[in-house]
Structure 1
Amino acid sequence: MSADHDTTSNNQAAMMAQYQDYYAVREGLDINIVPLAADAMIPSQADFAQHAPAVFKLASELQVVDASAIAQLRGLGDAAKVISDVLNQQNRKLTALLGYLLRNEDDPDHRFQAFEYGGAGIGFNNQTALAIGQWVEIKIFLPAESAAIYCLGQVCSCEPAASATSAPTAQTSEPEYQIKVLFQRIEDSDRELLIRASMHAQTRLLKKRANERNESPQ
């Protein structure tokens, strides 16, 4: 284990406070979660970039390049549109190829449904409980952003879901739990992407609610 595995990182109250430092949007999302063994070697933040799968590193780098290119185009006036169109065409080709590669990273055996996500962490439903402090490998798929994120985190909350109060069904032999994971190893650019994604999701939710109000009978 790395040197920063101290008592603070394993303190639930401290981790929950960090989890709540960022806004989390309530939206469903496909993710992969793989619990790590108790004796797993957790890379330091400095070494984490080399630990991530190559396709996720490529996805992160492309997001950074896109953001940098857009920022530089803002000062070019009319010429910016022509350059932007060319870049967008190339970007669509790269995004399609990258999307294909990332779909192969989505393992059905480890697929879960997130119920919220944000810059600090992610919440998901599980049929079994996970211990507080448990390290997990996380793959987050963001189709609306044409992106995916790889990171490591620790369980900071594990509570029975509201539906778990009812009797188990034939399909559900165990109570369901709502688990929250605090990101502990994540690239800064990926955290920024999650923050943008949560803001975009919030905008979509607000528009949907406005449309539903407008369409409802008076």
Structure 2
Amino acid sequence: MDPILQSLTDAYNDYFSVEHDITVNCKVYSGDLPSEQEFLASIPEPFLLAGEMGSLNMSALRSLNRIGELADELANYLQQQARKIDLLLHYVLRQQDSAEHRQFTLSYGGAGLCLQSPQQIAVLNLVELKVFLAENEGAVYCLGQVISAEQADNGWQIKVVFRRIRDQDRELIVRASLHQQSRQLKQKAAQRQLPE
């Protein structure tokens, strides 16, 4: 195997991934891999806003732990307000979802994703990704690189490793994949408890 491809494949395997279908916009990226600064400057505004909202919510709730017994009620109120803002932001982010480039993942995690594509994308091609996480958990804009393209019954299974992604966005994807795994485990446990 090509040493660059081997390195990218090893990076893909560094993180846990969960089998779950989420919406992704994927299109071939024209040009070379941009520098970190060029990439950060190219992130669409709604995706930057989504990342900032998530980190602000977490820091606000952490600071409530210091104010005593009213903290629970105040935290509940703030979480309801944050939920309203999340719903509005989710709507704004969905406007970034292009039907022309819409595909669905087979699995995803902190290192990358595997998606179902109607057409082949050549190995080592760079791709622009807009990842719309389930349960309104956010959305991520990043650049990836194709590490495999295998023909399947209904198109192509494309594995992509993230090449340019903000740290907080990688953390968001990791949290979302862990939440999804937790939901799947609860469903399996509930199914095992059903009478036969």
In the superposition, the TM-score normalised over structure 2's length comes to 0.92
Q: Distance in 2 between matches of 1:94 and 1:42?
A: 34
Query: Which residue number in structure 1 is paired with residue 17 of structure 2?
Result: 24
Match of 1:120 in 2: 111
Query: 1:190: which partner in 2?
Result: 169
Whether contact under 8 Å (1:12, 1:157) holds in the other structure is no
Say what the alpha-carbon RMSD is for the aligned residues: 1.7
CA 1:116 to 1:105, structure 2 compared with 1: closer, same or farther past 3 Å? same
Alignment of 1:164-179 (within 5 A): 164=153, 176-179=155-158
Q: Does the alignment pair 1:159 with 2:150?
A: yes
Q: How does 1:130-141 map to 2 (within 5 A)?
A: 130-141=121-132
Question: Is the 1:123–1:179 contact (alpha carbons within 8 Å) kept by the matching residues of 2?
Answer: yes
C-alpha change, 1:216 and 1:112, in structure 2 (3 Å) is farther
Asked if the contact 2:127/2:143 (under 8 Å) is kept, the reply is yes
Counterpart Cα distance in 1 of 2:20 and 2:134 = 13
Find the counterpart in structure 1 of residue 93 from structure 2: 102
Q: Deviations over 1:147-202 (max 9, x none)?
A: 111111100111223xx3xxxxxxxxxx6221110101111001001111111000
Following superposition, the deviation at residue 145 of structure 1 comes to: 4.0
The CA deviation at 1:102 is 0.9
CA distance in 2: counterparts of 1:216 and 1:179, whole angstroms = 40
Gaps of 5+ in 2: none
List 4+ stretches of structure 1 deviating above 3 A: none
Deviations 1:7-44 (A, max 9, x none): 96xx211101000000000111111101122xx25321
Q: Tell me the residue number matched to 2:42.
A: 51
Aligned to 2:192: 213
- The 2-side partners of 1:71 and 1:49 are apart by 27
Q: Residues 115 and 157 of structure 2 are in contact (CA less than 8 Å); yes or no, is this contact kept in structure 1? A: yes
CA distance in 1, matches of 2:18, 2:164: 21
Letter in 1 for 2:60: A
Q: Structure 1 residue 216: deviation in Å?
A: 4.7
2:22/2:134 contact within 8 Å kept: no
Change (3 A) 1:216 1:135: farther
Conservation of the 8 A alpha-carbon contact between 1:35 and 1:134: yes
1:3 counterpart residue number = none
TM-score by length of 1: 0.84
| Greater alpha carbon shift after TM alignment, 125-134 vs 112-121 | 125-134
Paired residue type of 1:203 = S
Partner AA of 2:183 in structure 1: R
Matched-pair identity in %: 38
Please give the secondary structure, in 2, of the residue aligned with 1:155: strand
Unaligned runs of 5+ in 1: 1-6, 165-174
Q: Which protein shows a greater Rg? A: 1
- Pairwise CA distance, 1:83: 2.5
Code of the residue aligned with 2:16 in structure 1: it is Y
Corresponding residue for residue 73 of structure 1: 64
Residue type at the aligned position of 1:179: I
Report whether the alignment pairs 1:202 with 2:181: yes
